[in-house]
Amino acid sequence: MKLRIYLKKLLLIIGIMYVGLSFASADVLPMQKTTKATPGENWNVEFKNKYNENIIIGIKYADGDKKQINKAQLLHDGEVIRFAAVNTYRKIIISIWTQGQFGENPENAQQKKPKFTYTIDAGGNTIFVTFDQNGNLNPQRGELLGITGKTESGLSKSSNVQKRDITLNAGVGARIQK
C-alpha cells in the first residue's frame, strides 16, 4: 500500500516537473506559415516573400536581446510567415539571405552576411510587410490594392507600420530606397 502511494506521488512530481520544463523552454513565439491567418491569435508580424526566389529570413529584437523572434526560416517565392505576441514597441531587425547566397543548401546562408538587413521601429503598430522583387521591404498593400483595409491573409491593416518606420541598413545588397 505504501509503495502504491509512493509511486503515485512520484508520478505526480514527475508530471509537474515535465509541465514546468515545457513552459520554461517555450520561449518561441507562435508562428504560422499559411496563406490565410488563423483567427484568434494575436498576429502582429507578417512577412510575405515576393522576391521571385527563395529567401531565408531571421527576425530578432534590435536591443541586443539574445532571444530571437524566430530561427532562420526558408521562405519560397509567394510564401507568407507570421508571428504572434511580438513586442512591436521594441525595434526589430529582419535579416534576409537570397538563394543566390545559399544555393541548394540553406545551411550555407548564415555563414555569410545577409544580403539585406532592415530595422523596423513600429512604435507598437503591427508589422505586415512584403519583400518585393527589387529587394525593398514595404508595408503590405493588401487585397484590392489596399481598399479593403486588410492584408491578403485577412489581417486588419488599421494600425500597420509605415514606410518611414522601415530602414535599410548597410549591407551586401544595400541600396538607397526612395
Phi-psi region of 12 (alpha: psi -120 to 50; beta: other; left: phi over 0): alpha
Give a yes or no: residue 66 inside a domain.
yes
Task: Please check the confidence at residue 177 and state whether its pLDDT lies above 90.
Answer: no
For the stretch 142-148, contacts whose Cβ atoms lie closer than 8 Å and that sit 24 or more positions apart, written own/partner, are none
Confidence of residue 18 (pLDDT cuts 50, 70, 90): very low
**How many structural domains comprise the chain?**
1
Give a yes or no: residue 10 inside a domain.
no
Task: Please check the confidence at residue 14 and state whether its pLDDT lies above 60.
Answer: no
Task: Please check the confidence at residue 47 and state whether its pLDDT lies above 70.
Answer: yes
Mean model confidence pLDDT for the chain: 79
pTM of the model: 0.76
Give a yes or no: residue 176 inside a domain.
no
Boundaries of domain holding 99: 29-168
The rounded distance, in Å, linking the Cα atoms of 115 and 72 is 14
Q: What percent of the chain has pLDDT over 90?
A: 44
Give a yes or no: residue 3 inside a domain.
no
Higher pLDDT, 106 or 159: 159
178: Cα separation from own chain's centroid: 25
> How confident is the model over 71-93, as pLDDT tens digits?
788 999 999 999 998 999 999 99
Give a yes or no: residue 98 inside a domain.
yes
> How confident is the model over 122-170, as pLDDT tens digits?
999 999 999 999 999 999 988 777 778 888 888 889 999 999 999 999 6
Give a yes or no: residue 2 inside a domain.
no
Q: Would you state the pLDDT for residue 28?
A: 52
Please give the backbone phi and psi of residue 168, each rounded to the nearest 5 degrees, phi first: -80, 125
Give a yes or no: residue 46 inside a domain.
yes
Please give the backbone phi and psi of residue 119, each rounded to the nearest 5 degrees, phi first: -110, 135
Residue type, 11: L
Residue type, 139: P
Q: Would you state the pLDDT for residue 171?
A: 57
Give a yes or no: residue 22 inside a domain.
no
